[in-house]
Amino acid sequence: MKAALLGHGTIGVGVDRIAAALPEIDIVRVLALETDDEILGRHTYDADDILNDPEIDTVIEVMGGIHPAWEFLSRAMEAGKNVVTANKAVVAAYYRELVALSLEKKVAFRCTAAVGGGIPWLVNLSREKQGDCITKIGGIMNGTTNYILSKMDHEGADFSEALKEAQRLGYAEKDPSADIDGDDVRRKLAISASIAFDGFADENDVPTAGIRSCLSEDLSFAHERHSVLKLAAFASRKELGISAFVSPVLVPESSLLSSVPGNLNLVTLTAEHAGELSFAGQGAGRFPTAKNVILDLLDIEAGNGAFYAPETQPLAIKNDSELLPWYFRTESPEGIPEDVVEAREGRRLITKPISVFQAFSLLENIQKSDSAAFMAGILS
């Protein structure tokens, strides 16, 4: 395999170093903003040097972002090149187009590292649905927020302190919005749901609440209920579509989800015959993520081009039948109708079981007057 690398940052360097020890993979060109001794003689500033080179059969994209990644990936496929990417943003945004192009041009398209970093989640998700029906997926899909909540919970740090430490350790970006607002998880859930349920889950249709406004009192409330606060994602098969959402949740202390420490991820699928299967590990990081990119390359070399169903019709996201009690902390509790309130204590309250759709509608209404309001689903 003669491959080219688009991007030579954290993940790109990891891919390059692992590939150097593998005779099956020869990375002959590297697109990067800067050059160094590691890529001397292979470096280019111009993507055309890669996309127009007939000797290069596979393009590895680890640049991040949607543009120009999408343009580079689509041009690579149009030129008959296989594509491997770790870029969840571009896959979530252009999943249907990437699958369609790979089928049309008869090239490989793989993105195992786009969800779960070093966890072999997507490839096993695809494997399990062969001869079985996946009914539900979900779990902790972002190590940064799990680290922040764990530090607040176990060390008593406030949100800003925990975030700064996550940034110091390299878990959080300088601009952490994608993590703490739940956008990163939403993209990963959309990709996972698309593969699990044989369609296209549009990330823009997935309601999402993050942890930006989380306070120590919210974690204290969880402890009062013998629960732990986590940011999680959930999707399940419904008769006329799927239910899907991202939100903080209170999970029982006895549950597997509550015990996930630090910056680890844990994702679970439920299938009719297999039951529950869980996958845990590093959801990010140079070498864990690079390892999954390398495995995709080796799979292509072995003739396993893709694991995505050709059916990518839109999946209707319907959250009106998924019922949960919800915790709200707000300075405007009057924004929640009394007929849905189970218990109220000052600015904290618990609702009766209501739909995910209704809970997010209440949060949206409350945030008009209280931007720091916080909401979490209560799992049993």
188 noted as active-site residue:
yes
| Cβ-contact 326, 332 below 8 angstroms | no
Instruction: Return the CA Rg of the chain.
Output: 22
DSSP for 108-151?
Answer: -EE-GGGTTTTS-HHHHHHHHTTTS-EEEEEEE--HHHHHHHHH
Cα separation, 256 vs 136, whole angstroms: 16
Q: Under 8 Å CB-to-CB from 19, ≥6 apart: which residues?
A: 3, 25, 26, 27, 294, 297
| Cβ-contact 284, 145 below 8 angstroms | no
| Burial readout 168-198 (b: 16 or more C-beta within 10 A, e: otherwise) | eeebbeeebebbbbbbbbbbbbbbbbbbbbb
Q: Is 227 exposed, middle or buried (0-12, 13-18, 19+ CB in 10 A)?
A: buried
| Cβ-contact 171, 147 below 8 angstroms | yes
For residue 208, give Cα distances in angstroms to 26, 74, 334, 349, 355. Answer: 41, 29, 23, 20, 14
Determine the 3-state secondary structure of 328 from DSSP. Answer: strand
DSSP for 228-254?
Answer: EEEEEEEEEEETTEEEEEEEEEEEETT
Structure tokens at 144: 């940064």
Handedness of CA 358, 267, 230, 163 (dihedral sign): negative
Helix (H) and strand (E) counts in the chain: 12, 17
Residue in 105, 188, 230, 318 annotated catalytic:
188
Phi, psi of 290, deg, nearest 5: -60, -35
| Burial readout 21-51 (b: 16 or more C-beta within 10 A, e: otherwise) | eeeebebebbbbeeeeeebeebbbeebeebb
| Cβ-contact 163, 213 below 8 angstroms | no
Q: Residues with catalytic annotation?
A: 188
